[in-house]
Structure 1
Amino acid sequence: MKIAGLDIGTTGCKCTVFDDQGKYLAKAYRDYPVTRAVTGHEIDASAIMGAVYASIREMAEKYPDIAGIGVTSFGETFVCVDEAGNPLHPAMLYTDPRGQEECRELIEKLGGHNIAHITGLRPHEMYSISKIMWIKKHCPEIYASTRRIFLMGDYVVYHLTGKAQIDYSLATRTMAFDIKNLCWSRDIFEAADIDSNLMSEPVPSGTIAGVITQKSAQMTGLSTDTKIVSVSHDQVAAAVGAGAFDGTVAVDGAGTVECLTPIYDELPDIDVMYEGYFSVVPYVIPGKYVAYAFSYTGGALMQWCVETIAKEEKKLAGEQGISVNEYLEKMYDGLHHEEPSGLLVLPHFAGAATPYMDTGSKGAVLGLTTATTAADIYRGCMEGVVYEMYLNLQALKHSGIHFQKLHATGGGAHSAVWMQMKADMLNLPMTALKTADAGTVGSAMLTGVAIGLFSDLADAAAHMVEETVTYVPRKEMHERYQKIYERYRQVYHAVRPLM
């Protein structure tokens, strides 16, 4: 028996297969195009479904005994479909500029704080409900023909099973879900003048939708006994895959985006969360919640530095048979050992996420001299990402967090230099996990529990979550970073008026 996690991302999807002991076997990936223009950022939902079928088929050919597939996806993006489930328009991404006016209308009708207390979200046009309102206002013929409205996770589940259901965490990304009563908010839908009956049925994360349909079995090569599970929003799946199940531990997702995910054993202070634009999302364990504190550029900033600043170093690293990241880390260590870089890097190269949510903010590198090397800038970029996460940690301090350690996932967790820097700067132990893809692992864990392969999440974690190294904070380094942080936290306010 095998289990699989299906992760629907913004630019591609992957299907990862594990055996009955939770051991990784293989994965298949398919990408799909995203269209970005001044007027809109869109994706073809049909292309997503085609990629889903193709990636599952590739795995089913190797492992025909897949017993269950868990579906996790990115949030916010939705699509209106007809009676047959066919998309009626290109799906709008969360970055799409449309919906700003409609979001303001909701705030005027209900009040921003009231919306946050219902939904766990500070109102923003990135969420689905504002863009659904835009569709109704500007494309009334599409809305009139709409029979269902799906986010990408429940869209895929529906096409695989015929069941329209959405888990609580993904439903939250609409800004129309009541996180306390775990149902669609009547007040939000009435204010938006949208029919809530068009939405999928909300269910707990990890709920089986049913077995795969005959049509989808033919498309994928799976048995019609294969169960499909509605897992969660991708960040929730990543927290599960990191083995974080209560408020004593938080997750550091060190991927393209840097994301800190604390867990709350009860509903956090919504007013504190509101100030920092922190989302409050129902977790997979009843009564618990997670929040998202993130920077748009984590690993993406390192990649920018490599591709733009360190081209020669990349070539030299290739000649030595090591990664350019390792080469730059060694180069810096040889010059300065563990000294802070002396640079202040504002990592807003793709705008500012929490606690500012300022898409107009720009990146900045301060402190350059003629002696500055590519390795110095690379180190400064690493520091800037961590300073930004420390800033978020301070903003969360009075919300009810009490975690004592962090579990690190993603590609960045494999950098001993970066992990030690985070432990020192955040003053918390950092445990790196073996898997770089915690979201897929979490999806498979919840699937294994749903179909009875594992008795509960603790059993699943014992099989699938593997710790590697724990980095312990060093008092003297924390104090040195603290002095620099006092300057760093002023950079955004100094640079923003100029840019």
Structure 2
Amino acid sequence: MHPPRAIGLDVGTSGVRGVLLDPDGGRRATASRALAPAGIRHDGPLHEQEPEHWWDALQGVLAELTDGLEGEPAAIAVDGTSGTLLCTDEQGHPLHPALMYDDRRAAPAVPRLARLAPPEAAVHSASSSAAKLLWLRGEHGLDGVRRVLHPADWLAGRLRGRYDRMDENNALKLGYDVVRRRWPEWLLRELGTHAGLLPEVVPAGTPLGPVDPDLAANLGLSPASQVVAGTTDSIAGFLAAGVADTATGVTSLGSTLALKQLSPRPLFAPQLGVYSHRLGDRWLAGGASHSGGAVLQQFFDNADLERLGAALDPEHDSGLDYLPLPGPGERFPVNDPDLPPRMEPRPTDDARFLQGLFEGIARIERDGYARLRELGAPELQRVVTLGGGARSPAWSRIRARILGVEVSTAAVDEAAVGTARLARGTALAALQEPNPA
């Protein structure tokens, strides 16, 4: 039986992107909508967005994609930012703006979580949705709240007209125990009479039910279309890359440096920001450094990076011993909140300076994979790269030299594609195949 047509919807910080895949997995259509600026407030530690603006953008994307469906049913899944939280009433109406993943106002709740939660729980920072929930309880109370949700959960609920389920990838930062697959006792005790606001948690890729009939008619969807439990945006990017073996690392080179690797067992090192998500019967471990493209942007614009990249000597070391961090502090592969950046002395040759920065980030990447190996990940044999940094051939050659393994660029790295593959059932099916490593 062929997988269905599938729609993947990626809800990012600035907009919604979508892709429609045919039953054979080919891309039929893509669409995107920017979020209305009026729905975004970012000031110091505060970062809020109006959930209704996500919904408006998502409807626009769906309307464009359904032009290619020709009345055929589709499976639909949504990914969203991990750690972003909103509270709703019984009908799913948001009771406040969503607290975005990088909203830092929940920092006062972190010491309490340190007393409540075990060290391996993914809640010990202000970016966790658990910290945001406790902060909201203290600031505004939870009277009238009937559900706490993440963007992917809320939007999938909006498509179904039911808000009773959450995927376990997004649930991790709300305190969900992914090893035992249950809400932990410490969280249930802490919430007390409000424990019922936690939805049922299901694995990513689980069919949730049909699209609401009235909504299907309004959006031009077949009433037989099904909503499937989604995932986080970073895991969707991993699924888009199509990596299915434990010997391949996936590096995201965006504004920060993030590493992911499939593992036969879960890896947890919360002091380093290393956690593991379930993907089918496998585990996806990962960690993120503060280093990355944001450091490069402190010195060079995109035109400079392209021009200077052609002047580098990737096969020979620059001799510069840099630690490129955007400011003091690092968490992975070392945990030192006071670790200072090291980007001096700066040579007069800008190309050599850029090469030194590239090499410094590559050494952090190398040490990050070594740290995952120390924690129990399989030995690394190759790396696939996502993000803007993958477009630099010189940087890829430098990374291959320093990592000592083959480095390639992902053929596909759009999160919406990974989410569409999750919806059609092929992303997780690939992970159940015998491990080629």
* Normalised-by-shorter TM-score class: 0.7 to 0.9
How far 1:66 sits from its partner (Å)?
A: 5.7
Instruction: Map 1:270-285 onto structure 2 (within 5 A).
Output: 270=268, 273-282=269-278, 284-285=279-280
Correspondence for 2:10:
7
Identity score, percent: 24
Question: Residues 347 and 222 of structure 1: is their aligned pair in 2 closer, same or farther, counting only changes over 3 Å?
Answer: farther
Correspondence for 1:23:
26
How far 1:446 sits from its partner (Å)?
A: 1.8
Matching of residue 404 in structure 1 with residue 381 in structure 2: yes
How far 1:299 sits from its partner (Å)?
A: 3.6
How far 1:154 sits from its partner (Å)?
A: 0.4
Q: Is the 8 A contact 2:241 2:410 kept in 1?
A: yes
Let me know the Cα RMSD of the aligned residues: 2.7
Give the structure, 1 or 2, with the largest relative contact order (CA under 8 Å, sep 6 or more). Answer: 2
Which one-letter code corresponds to 1:91 in the other structure? Answer: A
Matching of residue 393 in structure 1 with residue 381 in structure 2: no
Correspondence for 1:56:
62
Correspondence for 1:425:
402
Report the more deviating stretch, 3-12 or 391-400: 391-400
Distance 1:455 1:355 in 2: 29
Question: Residues 302 and 68 of structure 1: is their aligned pair in 2 closer, same or farther, counting only changes over 3 Å?
Answer: farther
Instruction: Map 1:3-402 onto structure 2 (within 5 A).
Output: 3-32=6-35, 33=37, 34-64=40-70, 65=72, 67-110=74-117, 114-116=118-120, 119=121, 121=122, 123-140=124-141, 143-163=142-162, 164-174=164-174, 176-193=175-192, 195-268=194-267, 270=268, 273-282=269-278, 284-286=279-281, 288-307=282-301, 314=303, 325-330=305-310, 332-333=311-312, 336=313, 338-349=315-326, 352-355=330-333, 363-369=341-347, 371-373=348-350, 375-402=351-378
Unaligned runs of at least 5 residues, structure 1: 315-323, 462-499
Question: Residues 197 and 108 of structure 1: is their aligned pair in 2 closer, same or farther, counting only changes over 3 Å?
Answer: same
Distance 1:70 1:147 in 2: 23
Distance 1:460 1:263 in 2: 12
Q: Deviations over 1:195-242 (max 9, x none)?
A: 232122111110111121134324432222221211212222222222
Match of 2:416 among 440, 446, 453: 440
Q: Is the 8 A contact 1:445 1:457 kept in 2?
A: no
Unaligned runs of at least 5 residues, structure 2: none
Distance 2:216 2:339 in 1: 47
How far 1:98 sits from its partner (Å)?
A: 1.9
Question: Residues 25 and 235 of structure 1: is their aligned pair in 2 closer, same or farther, counting only changes over 3 Å?
Answer: same
Correspondence for 2:429:
457
How far 1:96 sits from its partner (Å)?
A: 1.7
The residue matched to 2:204 in structure 1 has which SS? coil
Which one-letter code corresponds to 1:380 in the other structure? Answer: G
Name the structure where helix makes up a greater proportion of residues: 1
Question: Residues 346 and 26 of structure 1: is their aligned pair in 2 closer, same or farther, counting only changes over 3 Å?
Answer: farther
Which one-letter code corresponds to 1:96 in the other structure? Answer: D
User: Aligned residue pairs: how many?
Assistant: 423
Give the TM-score of the pair, scaled to structure 2: 0.87
Q: Is the 8 A contact 2:252 2:385 kept in 1?
A: yes
The residue matched to 2:143 in structure 1 has which SS? helix
Q: Deviations over 1:366-416 (max 9, x none)?
A: 1213x222x333333322322222232233232101132222233333332
Q: Is the 8 A contact 2:390 2:409 kept in 1?
A: yes
Which one-letter code corresponds to 1:276 in the other structure? Answer: L
The residue matched to 2:236 in structure 1 has which SS? helix
Q: Is the 8 A contact 1:154 1:200 kept in 2?
A: no
The residue matched to 2:6 in structure 1 has which SS? strand
The residue matched to 1:230 in structure 2 has which SS? strand
Give the TM-score of the pair, scaled to structure 1: 0.77
Distance 2:48 2:272 in 1: 28
Correspondence for 1:470:
none
Question: Residues 196 and 377 of structure 1: is their aligned pair in 2 closer, same or farther, counting only changes over 3 Å?
Answer: farther
